[in-house]
Structure 1
Amino acid sequence: MFSKGGLQLHINTPRETGFHKTTRNCLQHIREVLLHHRWQDAAEYMASYSQTLEDTTANMPQLYAEIIWRIGTEILHHHPNSTLEDYNSFYERVKHSGVKHYLKVCLEHSFHLLVNGQFEDAKLQLSIAESWRYGKQSAGQSQRIRLIQAYSGFLDYFIWCDKKATASNEYDAAVNQEMHSYFRQSSVNLKEIMKLPGVWDPFVLSYIDMLEFYNGHEGAVKVLNDYAYDDSFPPNPNAHVYLYRYMKKQNHPLKKLLKVLKILHTLVPSHELMPEYCSLLNEGDLQKALGVVLDLLDYSSWRSNLDVWNHLMNIIKRLRMKKQWLKIFAEEMGYRKDWWLAIHFSTFQARKDSAENRELLEVKSFVVGAFCPHCK
């Protein structure tokens, strides 16, 4: 059975027959050859193991079908001679071996076709899955169908991009009409999936790309705002990054840009946009800029970054012109005062900076002189 820790190879049945013992041993052999990356041997064993689908024991065919799906896909991904036809044949067989995982397999099959550039075939698979029904529709089944519809919109976007790339520079009414048709189809499905709380970054970016192409800037900002600020969605730093970059591209006021970056800073103080945030703050709120740059230097990935230290040096130069400089400094250093100097200005670090980046050493020398004159 499948467990949270992975595949349990022993399949418990009420009464193990000779057939069950053989299939259990076969699965054990598959496990062993997989661990040694013997993909051809794994494929041969899997061909034998597929006979388990003929087992009529209650509930067992569904279990066997999932094992074959999971492990078979892994073998296909790694086998050096796998072809697209092999994938198609495999997915079709697994898809029809049981109904429990039908929609999931369809979605995986379509995604494989998508990454291999088979957009129309991927679209067909999703269309088939979207119209598939079995028994009373459960909440889980309904959600998977909505996800399939979203991927259908995603595929429409890719086809739209393909049409756009191949269109001539001259105005072509037929091509533009076709592109707009794909845009409408894609928009309907992408908007639906974005109503569900979740992380939908690729879908959002696709929708924004199309809206921007048709000059739907207000609509794009609304979509990005909803994606970033809807409290029912999980915290997602990317949502704020997308909103900021789009607003910056559209020349939104500085005040609005700072609002977005402020939230991003709260979520990820070490984000790559924080130096840019610091630069924007330099135009007004120097104390906030100081806090942002000190936050960056708390992370090892930024501690040797010359640009960040230059930001700090420039902020200090401007702050020292203010009467409340020492008070501002004390407030922002706060809990750092007992360890900050030791981390950034150790003898070892000074030797390292001297050997690797003399300019950084000079900037840090200025900083330590400002923060701790007796240490210089």
Structure 2
Amino acid sequence: MSNLPTTPSSAAADLAANQAKARAPLLPRELSDDELAVFAAVSTRRDLDVGEIVFQHGEVGRCMYIIESGEIRLEFGDDLPDKLIGERTFFGELTLFIGNHARGATAIAATPATVHVVDHAAFEQLMLHEPRHLAHFMRRSFSYLVASEQQLIANQKRRNEDLLATLNSLHLTQSELAATERLVQTDELTNLCNRRGLYRFLKRVQEGPAMDSALGLLLVDLDQFKRINDHCGHAIGDQVLRAAGQEVLSAAAASDLPCRLGGDEFALLTYVANIEELEMRAAQIASAIRSLRFPSPNQHLRISVSIGGGMCALDQPWANWYSEADAALYDIKARGGDGWLILGSNASVNRPSASDSAACVAEQIRP
């Protein structure tokens, strides 16, 4: 079969298509036919198998690469996406421009590939013999590098902003957790530590370094509190508990732990120089609570406490400390309350007449 002659219109269409193809804009890192021919003339050809490494991130190089066929994957790391580049694309050119430059990515053959390797000597040769082509190539390359750096800076800025937002969120979460932990360890009514806070303090005492001072324990129990609560109401009872808790807190130093154990029982773990100082703390609390006064119609209400205490042997558990202080507390209760007793002390109980104290309370809460 003979070929049909080409009509003028089809020839014009072919020409227009070829011209359009010829005028198709190059990608930022893609070489034109002329540029590819110029570089190929001075380069070394290298065939690559799949997975073969061209260069590694951080490696100092002196060569630029141009892909003749196949594809190369650039792995940037630092959570940045990889980039897949193909035929006519050049990469690694920055080492030719500024000398011994550490590679910013790892280049790996994604498919069987052939690349042209352009070293520094070849590049110098082109600068002498092909200055026009090389000048055009360098202008495009620099424009791309500047745009890439600007994009990298923008991405890094966004990552830093995201990181800062994450850190702020973590700090907020940490603060919320710390606040929640404080709430869990705090008595809601008196704002003193509760038993959870006490146990955490005891753990720090056991695990921490030895202190120069000795540790003493005071157990503080309100006298006739059930009668106050029953006859004056829970609102007044809560007011009494808060006021008593504040006096226990006032007797504590910064390193001490005042806490509410539950109900009308408080405790003070306090660092003291000797047993005499522990007696002074007990006397301070008893006197301060005895002097509390309340607004009308409870202006005649008088509050007293019984306090038992002792020095804490650090080689013994909390249960032993509590048991000894509790024994002293109940000794005071048996004598009518409104006083203090420290085990191991020769001091007498410092309190007014128990009958006088009871009479004051009875007068206020009489049905």
**Which structure is higher in helix share?**
1
TM-score, normalising length from structure 2?
0.21
TM-score, normalising length from structure 1?
0.21
Highest relative contact order (Cα 8 Å, sep 6+), 1 or 2?
Answer: 2
